[in-house]
Amino acid sequence: MVHFKNSIQLNFGECGLAASLGSLQVKYVNPVTKVCIIRVSRECHQKVWTAITMVRCIGKIPVSFNLLDVSGSIRACKTAALECDEAKFEQYKLAAGDRITPEIIQTVQTCFDKIRGLES
């Protein structure tokens, strides 16, 4: 979240940061599939989207963000994210094969339960 805030400030200044901070929330993160849901006000979504796209690394780890969906409600967004998450986990299972552990499966199931429980 700090990197998002820094990018907003760098690209849109103090006023852009102040306008965005009131509504910027990370609602969901899956550490296995790397899917997340970020909630922001309608007025600030383009600034936040642009700023997140400009983030190239977190710490010393290179990252790339891909927008899956822009929606007016958490319900529609969580549906799109859950479909993507499930598809990515199937790919992960195929790639990992025998190396997939019960802990990873439990982590993903917990994340799936969390996304299903997001407010509508």
pLDDT tens figures, 58-107: 889 999 998 888 998 889 998 999 999 999 999 999 999 999 999 999 99
Q: Write the CATH number of the domain with boundaries 2-116.
A: 3.30.70
pLDDT range class, residue 119, cuts 50, 70, 90: confident
Contact 36, 28 (CB under 8 A): yes
In three state form, how does the secondary structure of the chain look? CHHHHHHHHHHHHHHHHHHHHCCCEEEEECCCCCCEEEECCCCCHHHHHHHHHHCCEECCEECCCCCCCCCCCHHHHHHHHHHHHHHHHHHHHHHHHHHCCHHHHHHHHHHHHHHHCCCC
pLDDT digits (tens, 9 = 90+) for 20-48: 999 999 999 999 999 999 999 999 999 99
pLDDT range class, residue 1, cuts 50, 70, 90: confident
